[in-house]
A and B are shown apart, each in its own frame.
Chain A
Amino acid sequence: MATYSTNEFKSGMKFLLDGDPYTIVENEFVKPGKGQAFNRVKIRNLKTGRVIDKTWKSGESVEAADVMDTDMQFLYSDGEFWHFMDPETYDQVAADATAVGDSKLWLKDGDKCLVTLWNDAPISVTPNNFVELLITQCDPGLRGDTAQGGTKPATTETGAVIKVPLFIEEGETLKIDSRTGDYVSRVKN
């Protein structure tokens, strides 16, 4: 199994810790002039997304993790699994609810997204930063309120509830920032 020594540490490196895959967010070399050298590292658990601080004595090594970020197309969900396809190889993978997490709120059949595979199994799904979704439910806007800049809740075809301007109506397609859930603009049909 490939290993990385602390002097190979750099942002984006994927490795195993306590059986989980992690990526390095930030690596800092720390050493008193007289004394032990350390790598003080911020790492993200690729399964949970949690970021933690960890320090290695310099010279220690970690086991490389077979983690790949792959551009895939979302096919459909059968309620238990979310199915994705590699548009080049036509390989399909099925991700469970844990792997998909909140990303499911932004996934529409046929959309492109980034699937993170660990030992060829999906562990997380990242939708495009901006997604276009149909509004399936929202209260009618009130005339004259357009200039007020007020908002109201609206439900997308994927089940996400977002805040939209008062003039938005059911049946419209909106551009939404999937990282924040913020309304960006109307999409002209």
Chain B
Amino acid sequence: MLDLLQERARVMQMIRAFFLARDVLEVETPCLSQAGNTDPFIESFCVEHAGHPGGKRYLHTSPEYPMKRLLAQGSGDIYQLCKVWRQEEQGSKHNSEFTMLEWYRVGMSYEDLMKEVVDLLQDAIPQSSRKPPRFIAYKTLFLEKLSINPHQARTEDLFAAMVAQNIHVAGELDHGSALDILMTHIIEPSMDAQRLTVVYDYPQQQQALSQVVDGVAKRFEVYFAGLELANGYQELVDAAKNRQVLMADSTRRESNQQSKIPVDERFLAALDKGIPACAGVAVGIDRVMMCRLEKKHIEDVISFPWGVA
């Protein structure tokens, strides 16, 4: 136990030194907000604010919105190390409460941010620097492994690939979910576990809050040891387009009959005011610890995991 605490403390110190050296400012933003995350695939915890009618608050699922509000106020490069919470995420790689590192680099391209993420991960996970990282487009991965162009494939093609790979799914899948199935069931397990793999340029449908250029979302993810460690964007700075994404998510939540989450109007207002061109990324620190300590279960790297918290 003491070993684990020391290792975690060491990684936290390493991260802070990493950003101090790069002149990136450490910030704190609220964990409990009046608005929540409208992403239909992420469930926020809702907290009752006793004595305040309608005064619900939401535990943040990432500090993205308020950090972008800081960017709009001219903060410049910023990073945050914080706990975040997501309902219904529990398993060997998921703890509903987890530690996230998120940072934004003003004026940086997502290509350069990918390299910075690799630098940080190689510091935090010494095993990951034994082989050079592999940078590969999402499309190339799908072509290599499944002979499918994910940007052009029809949903039926994705279903056919699933059948060919002997994957049987209960429940209806849409196009995006079928891509997620192929990614998580076939492609991720085929990656070299001993090497950092940076996957970039995602299908437009999976843009989240990244920029889309020529029908391709300027997003990247980083994997090591079979774990998704980081998710980064060339940030979408256009206020109207951000609003479109949030509204579309909100509508989707409604049609899925999911809980209604208030759209973060303060975040959208900040974008109206304008945020600088930037790239940003979030890293799951517990998973980084799993890689560093070579643990198979996330419970093994958290002082008091969900079940005993």
Contact = CB atoms under 8 A, between A and B. Distances in A.
A60 B41 contact: no
Nearest to B209: A34
Interface residues of A, dominant DSSP: strand
By CB atoms of chain A within 10 A, which of B91, B166, B208, B282 has the most? Answer: B91
Interface string A28-46: 1111111111101000000
Contact of A36 (B94, B167, B176, B282): B176
Interface string A5-49: 001000000000100000000001111111111101000000000
Contact of A40 (B90, B185, B206): B185
Contacts of A55: 167-170, 181, 185
Contacts of B168: 52-55
A38 B171 CA distance: 10
B177 A7 contact: no
Given A31-B89, A55-B169, A57-B170, A36 B177 contact: yes
Contacts of A37: 41, 88-89
A34 B39 contact: yes
B231 A30 contact: no
A35 B181 CA distance: 10
B173 interface: yes
B174 to A, nearest CB: 9
B90 A7 contact: yes
A56 interface: yes
B10 interface: no
A171 B2 CA distance: 61
A60 B183 contact: no
B299 interface: no
B184 A32 contact: yes
Interface residues of A, number: 24
Contacts of B180: 32, 35-36, 38
A31 B43 CA distance: 13
A77 interface: no
B107 to A, nearest CB: 24
Nearest to B178: A36
Interface residues of B, number: 32
A57 B88 CA distance: 12
A34 B41 contact: yes
Contacts of B90: 7, 29
B228 interface: yes
A32 B170 CA distance: 18
A155 interface: no
Nearest to A41: B170
A57 B169 contact: yes
Contact of B88 (A7, A32, A35, A53): A7
B91 A36 contact: no
A38 B183 contact: no
A53 B88 CA distance: 22
A17 B41 CA distance: 26
B73 interface: no
A7 B94 CA distance: 13
Contact of A60 (B167, B170, B184, B282): B170
B88 A33 contact: no
A28 B189 CA distance: 13
B41 A56 contact: no
A38 B182 CA distance: 12
24 contacts: A7-B88, A7-B90, A17-B170, A28-B92, A30-B184, A31-B184, A32-B180, A32-B184, A34-B39, A34-B231, A35-B41, A35-B179, A35-B206, A36-B181, A37-B41, A37-B89, A55-B168, A55-B170, A55-B181, A57-B169, A57-B171, A57-B173, A60-B170, A62-B170
Given A32-B184, A34-B208, A55-B169, 13 more contacts: A28-B91, A28-B92, A29-B90, A29-B91, A31-B89, A32-B228, A33-B221, A33-B231, A36-B41, A36-B176, A57-B170, A60-B171, A62-B170
